Amino acid sequence: MDLKKEITQIAKKAKAACGILANLETSEKNRILEEMARNLESKKEQILKANKKDIAAGRRAKLSSAFIDRLTLNDQRIDDMAACLLDVAKLADPVGKEIKSWQVPSGLKIHKLRVPIGVIAIIYESRPNVTSDCIGLTFKSGNSVILRGGSEALNSNIAIFEAINEVIKKNNLPEGAINIIATKERRAVDVLLKLNDYIDLVIPRGGEGLIKKVVSLSRIPVIKHYKGICHIYVDDYVDLNMAEKICFNAKVQRPGVCNAMESMLVHRDVAARFLPGMLKKFKAAQVEIRGCPLTQRIGKKGIIKAKDSDYRTEYADLILAVKVVDSLDQAIAHINEYGSHHSDSIVTDDQNNAKEFLKRIDSACVYVNASTRFTDGNQFGMGAEIGISTDKLHARGPMGLEELTSYKYVVWGNGQIRE
């Protein structure tokens, strides 16, 4: 079977499965999710073996250390994947939930209810845990899913998928409930994006090139999970020790993820006190600093002169752009101009400055005195996440169960006709 026919057949089966998944009882979905978690753990050895193949290929291809980190699985990360499935099982089921209801003068009773979206195609790169997270969330929200992971993680993704699909088969659920496109051929995405007769939504997760390609080619509605150019602004009224801990965590704890800090802004009035120690700590952690002229003067040696493009780049690595700003207004203007509207934070002791920052920063997640690394569905109490939307319609920020539903109006009458 040629690639187009094969992917079209997958999409048809996914569409056929929708009606069954949408009407599963919550208790049954939760039981199956728990089985999925157990089976992931029982297949740990096979998953890690497959992952080693991907890591070896990645090293041969000289992928960055941050990329290899995103790709790598270990016992703990597989345990975390299983825990996410269990967390999703514990969450309230959004399907059928009443959003609101009212009665109109004609006597009709109108109910607005949550319903599954249908078939969701998810196109993603490098992180194998996305495979199980997306299956868990789409399954609980009554959607069928078509997964297209990056070629770098293909062996890992297939192993995870097969472990979970065993549970789908065991419970006699339709074949198209969960699906994976198990090919490295790039044109598979081109084919997938034209199947608007069967697929209801596309969610791309990855780099700028992937997002732009999906948006330009798709005949299907897209929710973009775009790059994370995240900022932390260190205000002039600030606990410098707290600011240092937050900024270090946001950049160094896991630099290869989309909620890591890429640019640090510092108010001029605290720059001479804050930057020497902060930059020293970053340098000790092997962070490359690209700074404005004042940052270079304060840091003395080893600071690369920042270009305009440095403030527009998602490094996903141990590289940080630093700029000293004159005011809160300048910091806000910079973030709204250079950021990707993902996650941005202010570290301050001034409540008025905090409120101004929250009000004027146009990002999906805005923080006061906290690391941007918390922009995560699990950390937000969603169990897991499909990803972090940088769009404004119909979902924004971490996408959990509710964001994977639409709604319909259910209208009760007793014989009304319209005059």
Output the pLDDT for position 256: 84
Output the pLDDT for position 205: 87
- Mean pLDDT of all residues in 193-212: 92
Burial 286-300 (b: 16+ CB within 10 A, else e): ebebbbbebbbebbe
* Segment 102-113, tens digit of pLDDT: 999 999 999 999
Res. 384: pLDDT tops 80: no
Per-residue pLDDT band for 378 (boundaries 50, 70, 90) equals: confident
Per-residue pLDDT band for 377 (boundaries 50, 70, 90) equals: confident
Region for residue 109 given its phi and psi (left: phi exceeds 0; alpha: psi -120 to 50; beta: otherwise): beta
Res. 346: pLDDT tops 90: yes
- Mean pLDDT of all residues in 147-158: 96
Per-residue pLDDT band for 207 (boundaries 50, 70, 90) equals: confident
Contact status, residue 260 vs residue 228, Cβ threshold 8 Å: yes
**Top-confidence residue, 256 or 157:** 157
Res. 95: pLDDT tops 80: yes
CATH number attached to the domain at 230-374: 3.40.309.10
The Cα 140–Cα 122 span in angstroms is: 16
Res. 200: pLDDT tops 80: yes
**Top-confidence residue, 67 or 247:** 247
Contact status, residue 362 vs residue 341, Cβ threshold 8 Å: yes
* CATH 3.40.309.10 residue ranges for the chain: 230-374
Residues 6+ away with beta carbon under 8 Å from 14: 119, 144, 145, 146, 176, 177, 179, 198, 199
* Segment 259-285, tens digit of pLDDT: 999 999 999 999 999 999 999 999 999
Instruction: Please give the full DSSP string across 283-323, using - where no structure is assigned.
Output: HHTT-EEEE-HHHHHHH-SSPEEPPGGGGG----SSEEEEE
Res. 383: pLDDT tops 80: no
Res. 387: pLDDT tops 90: no
Nearest to 218 by CA among 197, 179, 192: 192
The Cα 136–Cα 161 span in angstroms is: 11
Burial 178-216 (b: 16+ CB within 10 A, else e): bbbbbeeeeebbebbbbbeebbbbbbbbbbeebbebbee
The Cα 117–Cα 375 span in angstroms is: 24
Lowest mean pLDDT segment, chosen from 118-127, 232-241, 269-278, 382-391: 382-391
Q: Are strands 109-116 and 405-412 parallel, antiparallel or unpaired?
A: antiparallel
Structure tokens at 215: 């948006």
Class of 3-226+391-412 in CATH? alpha beta
Lowest mean pLDDT segment, chosen from 47-61, 135-149, 201-215, 306-320: 201-215
For residue 96, what are the CA distances in angstroms to 99, 195, 240?
9, 27, 48
Output the pLDDT for position 366: 98
Res. 234: pLDDT tops 80: yes
Structure tokens at 252: 């160094």
Q: How far is C-alpha 194 from the geometric centre of its chain's CA atoms?
A: 24
Output the pLDDT for position 1: 65
* CATH 3.40.605.10 residue ranges for the chain: 3-226+391-412
The Cα 36–Cα 86 span in angstroms is: 9
Question: In 3-state terms, what secondary structure has residue 225?
Answer: strand
Q: What is the mean pLDDT of the chain?
A: 96
Res. 208: pLDDT tops 90: no
